[in-house]
Amino acid sequence: MKWGFVAFPEPPEDYLDFAVEHGFKHMEIDLFYPQQWLSRFHTARVRSLRQQIETRGLTVSFHTPYSLNLADFLPEIRIAAVRYVERLLQVASDLGAEWITVHPGYGVGIPTLEWVRSKAMDGLKRSLDRLIPIAERLKVPLAVENLTPVSSESEIVFLLDSPEELERLLCEYSSLALKVCIDVGHAEVSEGFHSFWSVAKEHCIALHMHDNDSQMDLHLVPGNGSINWREILSTLRKSNFQGAVNVELFLDEHKVAAKRYLEKIWESMND
């Protein structure tokens, strides 16, 4: 297992020395902010960034913008999202990235209507059917991330908000290029980490770590919410998890505080 962080809101180059200074071994580049827009990862930048990453002994992954919808109802928009990921897969390969974390997407409509979720899931599968062969060829897996359930009043339906739906999706694909990134905070708002771990542990390549009150996705520093981190880390230890544990927090001091808190629990298990 290696400690990592989601690199935002600054450009990834600004986090390289930060990672080394604070003992992080992995960096996940979030592409939402303008400094990290995919269009800015030109050939020269990718070549330079790869050299800097390798020199520091780090590994890297990408995180697609959370607004990217691979399940969009409109084919023209969904295909544009697919083409974005196709381009990102090539950039990730050139950079030596180990995987790409992707949100599965969402449907829009009255959530009590079953067709809203069904139609969105069909769109996601169509996108994966096109992307997985490319991911296989480039040897850059796609790691789908579990999302949070929404209230019954919402007119947006997030996919993979339950372990049951995640399990059904995984059962439809045998490719090693489809992985899972378990977002612990999102899982807490749903059925809890262990429910997702039980169906995804063989596919899990990474985790996102942040805390909340079990009701809302608050992205708190671990230890400031309701999540039982000792139980989660104990499960990872017993399972000999070899992936990345990425703290997903905005402020740099929070990234460091989260790592120290989780690392202290992890090291106490050696006693």
Tens of pLDDT along 203-218?
A: 999 999 999 999 999 9
Question: Of 76, 18, 13, which Cα lies nearest the Cα of 49?
Answer: 13
> Between the ranges 104-113, 149-158, 171-180, where is the mean pLDDT highest?
171-180
Residue type at 224?
N
pLDDT computed for residue 152 by the predictor: 78
Instruction: Of 122-126, 140-144, 152-156, 179-183, give the lowest mean pLDDT range.
Output: 152-156
Question: Of 196, 230, 229, 197, which Cα lies nearest the Cα of 212?
Answer: 229
How many independent structural domains does the chain possess? 1
The pLDDT of 92-114, averaged and rounded, is 93
Tens of pLDDT along 256-266?
A: 999 999 999 99
Rounded CA separation 160/46 (Å)? 32
CATH, residue 203:
3.20.20.150
Q: Residue 62: pLDDT above 90?
A: yes
Strands 106-108 and 156-158: antiparallel
Q: Residue 154: pLDDT above 90?
A: no
Q: Which domain holds residue 107?
A: 2-268
Residue 140 contacts residue 89 (beta carbons within 8 Å): yes
Q: Residue 269: pLDDT above 80?
A: yes
Q: Residue 188: pLDDT above 70?
A: yes
Q: Residue 105: pLDDT above 80?
A: yes
Rounded CA separation 63/205 (Å)? 13
In this prediction, residue 192 has a pLDDT band, given cuts at 50, 70 and 90, of very high
